Chain A
Amino acid sequence: MRKKINGMVVLALMVTAGCSSEKAATTASESADKAVAPLVASSPTPAPLIPKAPAPILSPITAPTPTGYGFDQWQRGSLGDVFFDFDRSSLRADDQERLKQNAAWLASNTGKRALIEGHCDSRGTSEYNLALGERRASSAKEYLVRLGVAPTRLETVSFGEERPFDTGQGEAAWAKNRRAHFIVK
């Protein structure tokens, strides 16, 4: 069973690697762009388009790729992630710009809903990060609601430090992990 899930995750990663390169240009931050590069490079052929099979909600912890959980098999639509300063859940100016774009997309795609995942880097302690992750997701949600998105279309969840976007150490990796990650439903 576990092997099967692993296989699905790897497959999903390979499949989305090809498509995410173009999305990255418009939706992901510069740092996220870098993260996606090796994935693209490692795909020997353009990934075929296959139906978007629902990915498992949770992948095994042992990340199948060097980039870890992230950019990613769940980046379905046009909603970009927002990134945070260390131990902060307040929105930076660039975050607010991205959230305005997200709000505009949601306004023109009224049938869509979004799940906002709050994430943290691996530093500090796990319990605190689980709380901090929720505050990051909530910050993003509240801003979208102020921009007119119906709160019923936005769900939040915290993963704390449990699902890093980049499993590396150092500020470059940590900065990518301190984020609110959007998944279009």
Chain B
Amino acid sequence: MTLLCNGFQILTIGRIDMQCFSRTVSSIFITLICLTTFSWRAAAQENGEYIAIRKEGSGNIALVLNKLDARGQGNAGAQRLDTIIRDGLDFTGIFSLISPPLNIKNNSDGEHAVINFGVLDSVAAEVYAGGTLTTKSTTLNLDMEVYDVSGAKLLFKKTYRGKDPRALGYAFCADLVEFLTGKRSIFGSKIVFISTKTGYKEIYECDFDGRGVEQLTSSHSITLTPALSPDGRYLAYTDFISGAPVLSIRNLLDKKTVAVARSGVGIDPGWRSSSEVATTLSFEGDQEIYLIKTNGVISSRLTNSPGIDISPTFSPDGSQMAYVSARNGQPQIFIQDMHSGQARRLTFSGNYNTQPSWSPAENKIAFTMWENGGELNIFVINVDGSGLVKLTGNSGNNESPSWSPDGQMIVFASSRQGQKRLYTMNVTGKNQKQLLSMEGEQMQPFWSLFRK
């Protein structure tokens, strides 16, 4: 902890947009938990600006997460939930988790304990979080409080109620991250991907941390490039059920699927909004990118260049589209303005650049470069063409980058262990780790923007 004491400075975190935050929360269309108290919001508005002490350069938030007090049935549930929250916060890579010092509370006999901010300050904690878990039959009641240590101020207080400890724990993690960073968190987000587990390429879904894998398609054919709409309601993908690669759009609520049955191909969809998806079709002859409504009706054609045009990905406001075009012979990434239709070439390094993915948080695009006919690796480039950074290397083929909803992480496929598996890393390429283990190969991951 002494290390953390060096090089501190006071930084002001910008005004947290609580309206935006609460809108995000209230617009979640599948509610897993009951929110009972909203005193956290009042506390946040009271604070207006949240000032934190940050370690210079690290960007990590020094957090003491105290062990949960257990009420009701035993201690095991509290310990488990404690681990869930701790692991969840650790996964984000934005916290330095400090072991809770002794004597955090000056009175350990429960409800009237007072938090000892002096001892928290002495271990260089910026934020303190603690709470109680009350278990009544199968219902869990998690009461959490979060304090700013230096000001000894309550930042928010909230009750989470439900039956699934992981859902409760992650709901708290989500609130904590969004409160402290002002950004959409990864908690509750989903990753869809392709696996050959059954012998066929099918779409699967898992939580952001690789847990809870579920099979979404049983096409018994080849299924490729799943992409979830920003609101999580639709899943677009290509499959060969008809014998040819056709784009399908599935409504995940009523499970109805429309196929965009045109002659030729339907390749690699990318959502512009929750009501429009772009994909490559070839029914007019050449392969061009079209915008399609969720009912499968084509609304407009976006490209008009001889040669391959594929893999659309949009700026968060939908005003610009990055895509792959082989109009000059080899595949390069271009950016097209959706209003003027003007396109410019983005990538000039390398002869084979594909799989662009536009960051939901910054003006950056991740993509896959095939380096001199050798390995595939993931790069990030600014939308203006500057700041090319290589994120992977010397680890087999690394491909299919997709951003986390907060823009802080990237999920991708890698053959570093032979078979293709899914990995995550942060935006600088650090902290590369395997997302999940399952049979077969896993590839073409797509990280959702929404959270449940």
Spell out A's residues near B (CB within 8 Å): 2, 57-58, 60-62, 87, 123-128, 130-132, 134-135, 157-160, 162
Contact = CB atoms under 8 A, between A and B. Distances in A.
A134 B354 contact: no
Interface stretch (B123-131, B143-151, B197-205): B197-205
23 contacts: A57-B221, A57-B240, A57-B243, A58-B200, A58-B220, A58-B222, A61-B200, A123-B370, A125-B368, A126-B224, A126-B225, A126-B443, A127-B324, A128-B324, A130-B238, A130-B267, A131-B267, A131-B280, A131-B310, A134-B265, A158-B245, A159-B222, A162-B240
B354 A124 contact: yes
B412 to A, nearest CB: 12
Contact of B196 (A61, A123, A128, A134): A61
Contacts of B224: 126-127, 130, 162
B312 to A, nearest CB: 11
Nearest to B222: A162
A128 B265 contact: no
Contacts of B198: 2
A60 B202 CA distance: 11
Interface string B364-389: 00001010010010000000000000
B434 interface: no
Contacts of A124: 352, 354, 370
A123 B376 CA distance: 9
B82 interface: no
A134 B264 CA distance: 8
Nearest to B285: A138
B355 interface: yes
A2 B268 CA distance: 27
A57 B238 CA distance: 17
Nearest to A160: B245
A61 B199 contact: yes
B330 A87 contact: yes
Contacts of B201: 61, 162
Nearest to A58: B221
A130 B310 CA distance: 10
Interface in B421-446: 443-444
Contacts of B444: 126
A128 B310 contact: yes
Contacts of B178: none
A171 to B, nearest CB: 11
B401 to A, nearest CB: 11
A71 B19 CA distance: 62
B282 interface: yes
Interface string B309-322: 01100000000000
B331 interface: yes
B199 A60 contact: yes
B18 interface: no
A20 to B, nearest CB: 23
A131 B376 contact: no
A130 B355 contact: no
Contacts of B443: 126
Contacts of A127: 224-225, 267-268, 310-311, 324, 354-355
Of A61, A62, A126, A127, the most chain B CB neighbours within 10 A belong to A127
A58 B239 CA distance: 12
A157 B243 CA distance: 8
A155 to B, nearest CB: 9
Nearest to B265: A134
A130 B265 contact: yes
B225 to A, nearest CB: 6
B399 interface: yes
Interface string B239-272: 0100111000000000000000000110110000
